[in-house]
Chain A
């Protein structure tokens, strides 16, 4: 499992590419908005942040399976169990998403401005979001990688599945931005955790079937 992690880590160019992707997206948003108004309204700021992160996640994680060469997949297949592969991929993707999300937040705050009042809470939301995105997108990317037009299917399959998660995340981060009492976000946090658990469990059970083909 650790080896998988190391192997992924070697493909640094992909990671740098994603960093540049996040940076340029944020900058485009900055240019296209700030030309008209000075500062963004809080709901717009929040929505924009999660939408940037959603697209980044889809792009970053879609590569997870599509990039693997046939030979290496065959090698994994003979060496490790499918459960090991899916868990390793999920952990790697979660770490990747976490780094990307935090960097995106940092860059976003510098360029567009930072209205967040309760930063630790916001970071917790980001953590939950990164875990959730990684968990659901890893499985979807495994499915989409089997098809001919991976890019389109990745978006089509993942967006509806991620909407509930995204709604919860936006509500929770909105609470954090407004600096509301933390107990108000407890419900959303628990639901997010529950969704993550469901997704991880289902992926863990289903992945061996996907792996066989």
Chain B
């Protein structure tokens, strides 16, 4: 098996995240207790999602400047992986919220914002599905992708800061960067973010290669 260095790095980082994340000592905090380990799985999903959606937007812009089929394929596959990360993020978050806030869904602004973000990207996939012509589909969905991402920025970064949230770090809850994210958590958290994001990139490259091969196959068939 020949893998380039960053794929080995991904495997190593994720193994480290899972093993050390589940076995190491964590700070004891009221309410959070052991669920603080979700920091290694839930939070990196959002980092990964935003970075991979950013990749998608960059390739959409690239497509608009230079209409190559490959740019469009990367954009749509990255959007799909971003959606997958978003769904996983919501599921891990809801599971965690069940034990700390008492309910799966407690009308938290961040929960709502992430649900709306996912709706935007589901709409993107539906938009793609409604075109017959390849080029038109690629161009118009690229336009929508950029537009939707611009609309997503206030949703994810401005709105939650204006309202109180149940999330750690908001509304007087113990914060993310303050006293309680000590060095033991950091030692696993940062590798976890890098690891999950790289895994996302890996999936995108695989899916892109598969799609390109499929296209080539249909053209020759």
Using a CB–CB cutoff of 8 Å, the interface residues on chain A facing chain B are 136, 139-140, 143, 146-149, 153, 156-157, 159-161, 163-164, 167-168, 187-188, 191, 194-195, 198-199, 202-203, 206, 209-210, 212-213
Task: List the count of A-B residue pairs having beta carbons below 8 Å apart.
Answer: 86
Q: Is the CB of B130 within 8 A of A160?
A: no
Complex CA gap A90/B19 in Å reads 55
Residues of A within 8 A of B116 (CB): 160, 163-164
Measured CB to CB, the nearest residue on chain B to A139 is B147
Q: Is the CB of B158 within 8 A of A191?
A: yes
Q: Is the CB of A206 within 8 A of B146?
A: yes
Bitwise, B154-181 to A at CB < 8 A (1) or not (0) is 1100110010000000000000000000
Question: In the complex, which of the residues A156, A188, A202, A209 contacts B150, with contact meaning CB atoms closer than 8 Å?
Answer: A202
Among B100-108, B135-143, B189-197, B208-216, the stretch in contact with A = B135-143
B91 on the interface (CB 8 Å rule)?
Answer: no
- 6 closest cross-chain pairs (CB), A and B: A160-B119, A160-B120, A161-B151, A202-B150, A147-B130, A156-B123
Q: Is the CB of B126 within 8 A of A199?
A: no
Tell me the smallest distance from the CB of A19 to a CB of chain B, in Å.
Answer: 29
Residues of A within 8 A of B15 (CB): none
B47 on the interface (CB 8 Å rule)?
Answer: no
Question: In the complex, which of the residues A159, A164, A210 contacts B155, with contact meaning CB atoms closer than 8 Å?
Answer: A164
Q: Is the CB of A157 within 8 A of B144?
A: yes
Complex CA gap A206/B145 in Å reads 11
Question: In the complex, which of the residues B64, B113, B127, B135 contacts A143, with contact meaning CB atoms closer than 8 Å?
Answer: B127
Tell me the smallest distance from the CB of A58 to a CB of chain B, in Å.
Answer: 14
Where chain A touches its partner, the secondary structure class is helix
By the criterion of a CB under 8 Å from any partner CB, how many residues of chain B are at the interface?
29
Using a CB–CB cutoff of 8 Å, the interface residues on chain B facing chain A are 64, 113, 116-117, 119-120, 123, 126-127, 130-131, 135-136, 139-140, 142-144, 146-148, 150-151, 153-155, 158-159, 162
Measured CB to CB, the nearest residue on chain A to B144 is A143
Q: Is the CB of B147 within 8 A of A161?
A: yes
Tell me the smallest distance from the CB of A83 to a CB of chain B, in Å.
Answer: 15
Complex CA gap A64/B58 in Å reads 29
Q: Is the CB of A164 within 8 A of B154?
A: yes
Tell me the smallest distance from the CB of B89 to a CB of chain A, in Å.
Answer: 17
Measured CB to CB, the nearest residue on chain B to A191 is B158
Complex CA gap A167/B142 in Å reads 27
Q: Is the CB of A159 within 8 A of B119?
A: yes
Question: In the complex, which of the residues B123, B139, B148 contacts A209, with contact meaning CB atoms closer than 8 Å?
Answer: B139
Taking A153-B126, A153-B127 as contacts, is the C-beta distance between A202 and B140 under 8 angstroms? no
Residues of B within 8 A of A198 (CB): 150-151, 153-154
Question: In the complex, which of the residues B119, B131, B147, B155 contacts A203, with contact meaning CB atoms closer than 8 Å?
Answer: B147
Please give 6 more A-B residue pairs, beta carbons under 8 A apart, in addition to A194-B154, A199-B150.
Answer: A153-B127, A156-B126, A161-B151, A168-B159, A202-B150, A210-B140
Complex CA gap A159/B147 in Å reads 13
Complex CA gap A72/B157 in Å reads 41
Q: Can you list 14 residue pairs at the A/B interface with Cβ under 8 Å? A: A143-B144, A147-B127, A153-B123, A153-B130, A157-B144, A160-B151, A161-B148, A168-B159, A195-B154, A198-B154, A203-B147, A209-B139, A210-B140, A212-B139
Q: Is the CB of A136 within 8 A of B151?
A: yes
Q: Is the CB of B123 within 8 A of A160?
A: yes
